[in-house]
Amino acid sequence: FTLIDAVKNIANITLKIIGEGPIKEDLELKVRNEKITNVCFLGYKTGRELNEEVRKAMFVLCPSECYENNPRSIIESFALGKCVIGSRTGGIPELVRDNETGLTFERGSVEELRTKIFYLLNNRNDIVKMGEKARMLVEKEFNQEKYYKGLMEIYQNILLSK
């Protein structure tokens, strides 16, 4: 519940949670029971609908509490020019580079996440700058040409080793 606890009672923002998962009902119950008014659940989104929601966002939060190697949601957010606040777990810190493509926080730390959210809310120019760097990172590191070259090198090495 790190994310919900971090954003509750922050004025003038709405946290939109996209997706389904095993704890969705628990999160909805917490929001209802605690009468948290700045959180809404949009459910599962894909394609154009998902991209539109991300485009409308000021920034994206990825508060993973379990290991994720290379979260696609972060890469997709970067591709749309959004900076990300992500937990320091798994491969997230390799993508979310502090003060470059976003901000990181200690997994499970409500206070640190809340501090990072307030930082971005009070430094809107940094949101834009980090979003631009995030977009450039995706264009440089996750493009088709780089992927193709890497794949061809693997095939070449396999063929040469026979």
How far apart CA 56 and CA 43 sit, in angstroms, is: 16
- Asked whether the predicted pLDDT for residue 37 surpasses 90, the reply is yes
How far apart CA 47 and CA 78 sit, in angstroms, is: 15
- Asked whether the predicted pLDDT for residue 162 surpasses 80, the reply is no
Instruction: Dump pLDDT digits (tens) for 74-131.
Output: 999 999 999 999 999 999 999 999 999 999 999 999 999 999 999 999 999 999 999 9
- Asked whether the predicted pLDDT for residue 142 surpasses 90, the reply is no
CATH of residue 91's domain is 3.40.50.2000
> Please, what sign has the CA dihedral across residues 3, 72, 98, 65?
positive
Residue-range definition of the domain harbouring residue 75: 2-160
How far apart CA 41 and CA 58 sit, in angstroms, is: 17
How far apart CA 55 and CA 128 sit, in angstroms, is: 12
Instruction: Give how many domains the chain has, as a whole number.
Output: 1
Cβ distance 82 to 134 under 8 Å? yes
Q: pTM of the full predicted structure?
A: 0.89
Cβ distance 62 to 73 under 8 Å? yes
- Asked whether the predicted pLDDT for residue 149 surpasses 80, the reply is yes
Helices (H), the chain: 2-7, 24-33, 47-56, 72-79, 92-95, 110-122, 124-141, 144-160
